[in-house]
Chains A and B, each alone.
Chain A
Amino acid sequence: MLDYDQSMLDYLGIKDFEGLFSDISPKIRKKKLNLDPHCSECKLLQEATMLSESNRFDEYSNFLGCGVYDRIIPSSVDSIVSRSEFLTAYTPYQAEISQGMLQSLFEYQSIISDLMGMDAANSSMYDGPTALGEAARMAVRINDRKTILIPDNIYRNKRNILINYCAGLDVRFKEYSFDMKTGMLDLEDLSGKIDGDVSAVIVENPNSYGVIDENVLRVKNVIGDSLLISYVDPISLGVLKPPGDYGSDIAVAEGQQLGIHQNFGGPYLGIFTYRKELARKSPGRLIGETTDTTGRRGYVMTLQTREQHIRREKATSNICTNQALMGVAALAYLATVGPSGLRKIALATIHQSAKLRQIVSGNKKVQSNVFSGTSFSDVPLLIQSDEEKLNQTLRNNKIFGGVKLDRIIQNRYDRLKNAFFFSTTEKTEETDLMKLKHALEAV
Chain B
Amino acid sequence: MMSFKQAKYDEPFIKDLQSRTTFETVSEDYDEGIVPSVMLNKEPKVPVIAEYDVVRHFTRLSQMNYSVDTGFYPLGSCTMKFNPKYADKIASMPFFSEMHPLRPEWSVQGTLQVMFELQEYLREISDMDEVSLQPLAGAQGELTGVLLIRKYFELRKELSTRREIVVPDSAHGTNPASAAMGGFNVVEIPSNDKGTVDLDALRYAVTDKTAAFMITNPNTLGIFDPNISEIAEIVHSKGALLYYDGANLNAILGITSPGLMGFDVVHFNLHKTFATPHGGGGPGAAPVAVNRKLADLLPGPIVRKGESGYYLDRSNNKLGNIASFYGSFGVLLRAWSYIKRNGSDGLKMNSYRAVLNANYLAKKISNDVRISHPGLKKHEVVASSEESGKRALDIAKFIIDAGMHAPTIYFPLIVKEALMIEPTETVTKKDLDDFADLIHEAVTSTQEELHKHPVNTASGRLDEIKATRDLILKR
Contact = CB atoms under 8 A, between A and B. Distances in A.
Please determine whether chains A and B interact with each other in the same assembly.
yes
A336 B110 CA distance: 33
B306 interface: no
A374 B49 contact: no
B294 interface: no
A324 B94 CA distance: 22
B462 A89 contact: no
Contact of A48 (B6, B29, B61, B337): B337
A242 B281 contact: no
A38 B342 contact: yes
Contact of B98 (A33, A261, A343): A261
A12 B359 contact: yes
B323 A86 contact: no
A144 B439 CA distance: 49
Contacts, number: 654
B192 interface: no
A35 B39 contact: no
A324 B281 contact: yes
Nearest to A90: B278
Contact of B136 (A29, A99, A104, A267): A267
B14 A51 contact: no
Contacts of B46: 111, 114-115, 334-335, 337-339, 342
A335 B186 CA distance: 44
Contacts of B375: 23
A391 interface: yes
B260 A28 contact: yes
Bin the interface of chain A by size.
Answer: 35 or more
B191 to A, nearest CB: 15
For the complex of A and B, 3 pairs with smallest distance between CB atoms: A168-B183, A265-B325, A324-B281
B66 A97 contact: yes
B338 to A, nearest CB: 10
B324 interface: yes
Contact of B62 (A55, A86, A261, A351): A86
A344 B45 contact: no
19 contacts: A14-B359, A24-B224, A36-B343, A49-B93, A83-B62, A88-B83, A93-B406, A94-B396, A97-B66, A98-B66, A110-B13, A124-B282, A158-B324, A288-B467, A328-B58, A340-B21, A340-B43, A342-B44, A400-B100
A196 interface: no
Interface in A299-323: 299-300, 302-303, 307-315, 317-323
Interface in A88-119: 88-101, 103-107, 109-111, 113-115, 117, 119
A266 interface: yes
A187 interface: no
A339 B43 contact: yes
Contacts of B26: 72, 341, 344-345, 347-348, 426
A218 B67 CA distance: 48
Interface string B21-43: 10111101111101110111101
